[in-house]
Structure 1
Amino acid sequence: MKGVLLAALVLLAGAACAADLQVLKPVYVMVQDDGEVFLGTVGPGQTVFVEADALVETGGIHGIGGRWDRLEVVDVPGGWTAEDSFLYEQPLKARITVAKEAPDGEYEVLVRSVDIENKEGLGEVNLKLIVNVSREVFGMEVLPSEKETGATQPATYTVMIENKGVASDAFEISAKGLPAWDYKKAVFVPYGTCKSVQYDLVGAEDGEYDVTVAVRSFSSDRIEGEERVHLSVKTTLVSDYKATNNGLLLFPIFEQAAYSIMGLLANLF
């Protein structure tokens, strides 16, 4: 009988000490020890931050929770890098970076929240993170598909970049197929968002140009995409007036109103 009571007390004590870990980003989920969480899709070379709440409302010495001291990355696949969270920060943020040449597929990362020296009786929560690696982590679109302007006049296109993954990233926009044009533009796109960016093409000489607008991740050359647009460069009085719609700043301030009206009228032709 005494043995049964002792076993019951041990089980109750263990239940009182059991604590949870609230993962905040990139997914919001409550987990217990030996839990498993699917983080989402990350591209090669990209960095994902795993955030968790340092405050705990369950478990601990008195069963009323406490505070996790650190979120540690225990194991990552070969070629990957990681950093533990800072000690006592809130929320806890661990960094995981995928290898730049990682093939597409699912990978496992092991992390754990720790109560150093078990001062608050929280123990630790061990967690397996499932990460899907894919180069298809962003989408792009360039509008309009064709445009007309005069020589040396900017033609402004809108480049829309959608970050479909769970890692924020910076991208570079460039173009090829237009002689003597090597303009690049950088843009930061948080994960799960879409951003529109204005990108200019300038032709020095009259002609018809099929231009490839490319978007590449700074994290890895394996994350890239491109779209073709057409640029018609014709130097006429009407095209010069149309160019004023692109924000050309070559006119004195007092003439800007007049040229704005000319630009609007030119759109009728």
Structure 2
Amino acid sequence: MLEPRAWVMIGIRTCSVGHKPHEKRKTLFYFNGNLGPAYDHGRPEDSYSMGIRQKLAEEFGSSPNKEGKLGKQHAKDVIVTPLRSDNYHVEIASSVFCGVFPGDGWSGRLEDSVLQGCIPVVIQDGIFLPYENVLNYDSFAVRIPEEEIPNLIKILRGFNDTEIKFKLANVQKIWQRFLYRDSIMLEAERQKTVFGHVDDWAVEFLKLTEDDVFTTLIQVLHYKLHSEPWRKQVGMNKTFGLRKQCLGNGWPLRNLRNQDSNVFLAMCKTG
């Protein structure tokens, strides 16, 4: 879990560099992370990243490996490197497509990509992504089978400008669902209390009004509780969840965090 100040810095970078138009994104594809044993300080296990990062580096590595070799299909506008960068978020924000692959398991690359306005390129067969049963990933991301890794860049170059701009626009529509805005605003309140002023980044965050991570999570849980088809086959009386009058009394789920919780519970308690 990142400290509040770390989320603040991510938020500042997001507000300042994460909304570049297509024309200002000069890198076609970007991935920065551990690429396995072929590189210095690389993870030695063949099973690391299910072998995905290793295959990617073999084809498109833009930094020399231990043998001094680049990827077989390395290209000027493709960055696949294990070298840490102080400008990591800026580099993502300057790219059209960004890699989303597993590491030891869970990876934060999806959030990194979306928060910087980059189209996620997902390569992890059989693994569901956050909110995949709710969000339309096809509208803002690209999923490529592992067996197509050698054809990755060819596939990405096959997208025309209209398709790319469509996906970039949709990333802009959903990026706040991957942002811990309310947590960051708690840090803003703390700083206001301690230092007596609100920094510019907090002013920018106050302008954000779309649903954030927490609200999206509650919406997804609500959907799973009330709408998943298998529940209709259980054949039991529904004695859980919000009462019908709560769902019809002008209490939209997205606004729950802004309501007085005590009043809400008094009106809509389930017991």
Tell me the TM-score normalized by structure 1.
0.23
Greater helix proportion: 2
Larger radius of gyration: 1
